[in-house]
Amino acid sequence: MRIPLMLALAGLGAQLSDGSRGMAYGVTSPDAGGRVVARIGVPGTVGAFAAVWGPAPTPTPEGSTR
C-alpha cells in the first residue's frame, strides 16, 4: 500500500511542476510580442466579460434555453 501512495504523490508533483513550467513558458515566450498579445488578449477579455455580465439565457417551457 505504501508504494502506490508514493508513486501517486510523485506523479502529482511531476504534473504540478510540468504544468507550471508550461504556463510560465507561454507567458514569457519571446515569440509573443506586445502587438500579438493585444490582438488576442483584448477581444478575449471583452468576450469573457460579456459572457459573465451578459444576459442570462431564458428558459422555455420545454426546459431548454434560447
Those residues with Cβ within 8 angstroms of residue 34's Cβ, 6 or more apart along the chain or in another chain = none
11 domain residue, yes or no: yes
Coil, strand or helix at 61 = coil
15 domain residue, yes or no: yes
56 domain residue, yes or no: no
Cβ atoms of 28 and 20 within 8 Å: the answer is: no
42 domain residue, yes or no: no
65 domain residue, yes or no: no
For residues 23 and 3, what is the distance between their CA atoms, to the nearest angstrom?
30
Domains identified in the chain, total number:
1
38 domain residue, yes or no: no
Tens digits of per-residue pLDDT, 31-61?
A: 767 787 788 888 888 888 888 887 777 777 7
> What burial class does residue 53 get, using C-beta atoms within 10 Å of its C-beta: 0-12 exposed, 13-18 middle, 19+ buried?
exposed
> What global pTM score does this model have?
0.38
pLDDT tier at 13 (50, 70, 90 boundaries)? Answer: confident
